[in-house]
């Protein structure tokens, strides 16, 4: 790594030490908040929470009867607000009916508010504010929460209207993310991206030098406007690896700012439930970043992950601690690790994620995604829960729920949301309602499934 990278690591470790006392308090408060919001008299007997993604109101009572306490629903921004400031009351009524049915079944509801389903009028209204990569490709499937203040203003207006119509306080948790899947990375590479890498920092606000009222005040100006990944020079002079590191640090910090802005906004709106930051997969590792920096962020084996900012050993530490902010690994039983889907070990606590020696990194690369993210979460002082990756990522099979349960228990996760509710009822191998009920009962007894 460059000297700049080493000094950055020291600053991050100093940041962790400064926050450690606060983080412990935050974890305790978050656990208390979770407990309070569960609400039913029997909840104090339960070690973990369990639920499903895309929960159907038709199966909600059966879910509850088999040990689940949580449900999940999504809101479509596009359907809610088909024109600027215009709310579709028929869609609101449908959302209210679904929410009422889930709650009447005795389930607590987490919500995806639909920032990853923006209305088409948004990009038409702000054509120059869309995510734009180094080749000029635009991405409009998720709003540019990172570099556009105007887009943030539209999102704030939407969330205020959603709060007025539905009531955010009715939700046990709100899901937080940036990309088109609602998770904590930049968007995926554009189809036209050379080498399958898109660095989404080339819209007009991301490229503005100095002050720019169109860029969020909490995002500093681009340190090297006009420089593009892969270029070896800048303004006629050699571009050093220290400068590459500085540019990439700015790129990651801007991504994290979009998450921190959301959590601040929900607090401003008076929301006191959990805010769940979604962490997809395991991302890349320190040596991947070192190699990419040495190559001026040109084409590398993990360039796609690096351009998406999926360096969770760096970005999780940039998330602001708040009493109700928790992480979610969305990659349980995703088939990662050797052996596949391995769980956490007590010795994992000796690993320092952002300062791995070569031998240590080789061992960590054999960890499952959730094992790696759990270690980072513990290092940075965040509670963490999990979601199964889903059969579209890694096909389910007999015993898969038990493997997820072992990952949950060994990694100290607070709960599990199973993807998807329909897979409990449609004959998916290893994913029946009975399978889930058995794993839930075993874990709540404190035993290993």
Quick one: pLDDT at residue 209?
Answer: 87
Q: Is the pLDDT of residue 42 over 70?
A: no
Q: Measured at the alpha carbon of residue 4, what is the angle toward residues 244 and 131, in degrees to the nearest 5? A: 35
Q: Is the pLDDT of residue 35 over 60?
A: no
pLDDT for residue 156: 98
Say how far apart CA 340 and CA 333 lie, in whole Å.
8
Cα maximum dimension of the chain: 69
Mean pLDDT, range 325-354, rounded to an integer: 97
Q: What is the 3-state secondary structure of 387-409?
A: EECCCCCCCCCCCHHHHHHHHHH
Q: Are 67 and 46 in contact (CB under 8 A)?
A: no
Cα 263 to chain centroid, rounded: 13
C-alpha 45/C-alpha 15 separation (Å) is: 36
pLDDT at 20: 40
pLDDT tens for 52-69 read 999 999 999 999 999 999
The residue behind tokens 């600027």 is 84
pLDDT band at 44 (very low <50, low <70, confident <90, very high): low
pLDDT digits (tens, 9 = 90+) for 59-115: 999 999 999 999 999 999 999 999 999 999 999 999 999 999 999 999 999 999 999
Helix (H, G, I), strand (E, B) or coil at 328: strand
**The pLDDT value given to residue 45:** 67
Alpha-carbon distance of 385 to 411, in angstroms, equals 9
* CA-wise closest residue to 384 among 413, 341, 348, 404: 413
Structure tokens at 40: 């039913």
CB of 351 closer than 8 Å to CB of 372: no
Q: Please, which pLDDT band fits residue 5 given cuts at 50, 70 and 90?
A: very low
Write the pLDDT tens digit of every residue in 243-289: 999 999 999 999 999 999 999 999 999 999 999 999 999 999 999 99
Q: Kindly provide the b/e burial profile for residues 73-108, where b requires at least 16 CB atoms within 10 angstroms of the residue's own CB.
A: bbbbbbbbbeeeeebbeebbeebeebbebbbebbbb
Q: Where are the alpha helices (DSSP H) in 195-276?
A: 241-268
pTM of the full structure: 0.91
């Amino acid at each position: 790594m460059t000297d700049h990278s080493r000094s950055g690591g020291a600053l991050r470790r100093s940041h962790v030490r400064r926050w450690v006392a606060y983080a412990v308090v935050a974890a305790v408060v978050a656990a208390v908040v979770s407990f309070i919001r569960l609400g039913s008299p029997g909840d104090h007997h339960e070690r973990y929470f369990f639920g499903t993604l895309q929960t159907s109101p038709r199966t909600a009572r059966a879910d509850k009867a088999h040990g689940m306490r949580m449900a999940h629903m999504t809101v479509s921004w596009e359907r809610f607000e088909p024109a600027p400031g215009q709310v579709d009351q028929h869609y609101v009524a449908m959302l209210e009916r679904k929410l009422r049915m889930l709650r009447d079944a005795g389930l607590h509801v987490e919500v995806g508010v639909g920032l990853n389903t923006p209305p088409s009028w948004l990009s038409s209204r702000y054509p120059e504010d869309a995510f734009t990569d180094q080749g000029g490709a635009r991405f409009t499937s998720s709003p540019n929460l990172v570099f556009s203040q105007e887009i943030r203003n539209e999102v704030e207006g939407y969330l205020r209207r959603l709060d007025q119509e539905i009531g955010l306080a009715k939700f046990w948790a709100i899901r937080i993310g940036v990309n088109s899947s609602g998770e904590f990375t930049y968007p995926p590479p554009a189809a036209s991206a050379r080498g399958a890498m898109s660095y989404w920092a080339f819209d007009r606000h991301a490229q503005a030098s100095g002050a720019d009222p169109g860029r969020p005040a909490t995002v500093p100006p681009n340190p090297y406007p006009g420089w593009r990944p892969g270029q070896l020079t800048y303004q006629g002079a050699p571009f050093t690896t220290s400068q590459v590191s500085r540019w990439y640090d700015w790129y990651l910090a801007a991504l994290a700012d979009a998450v921190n802005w959301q959590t601040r906004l929900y607090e401003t709106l008076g929301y006191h439930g959990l805010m769940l930051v979604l962490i997809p997969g395991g991302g890349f590792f320190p040596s991947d970043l070192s190699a990419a920096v040495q190559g001026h962020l040109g084409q590398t084996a993990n360039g796609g992950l690096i351009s998406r900012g999926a360096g969770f050993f760096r970005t999780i530490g940039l998330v602001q601690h708040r009493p109700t902010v928790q992480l979610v690994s969305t990659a349980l039983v995703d088939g990662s690790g050797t052996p596949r889907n391995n769980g956490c070990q007590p010795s994992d606590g000796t690993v320092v994620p952002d300062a791995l020696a070569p031998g240590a990194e080789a061992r960590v690369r054999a960890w499952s995604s959730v094992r790696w993210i759990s270690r980072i979460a513990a290092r940075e002082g965040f509670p963490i829960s999990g979601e199964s990756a889903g059969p579209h990522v890694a096909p389910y099979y007999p015993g898969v729920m038990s493997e997820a349960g072992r990952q949950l228990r060994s990694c100290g996760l607070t709960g599990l949301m199973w993807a998807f509710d329909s897979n409990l009822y449609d004959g998916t191998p290893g994913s029946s309602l009975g399978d889930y009920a058995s794993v839930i009962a075993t874990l709540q007894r404190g035993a290993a499934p």
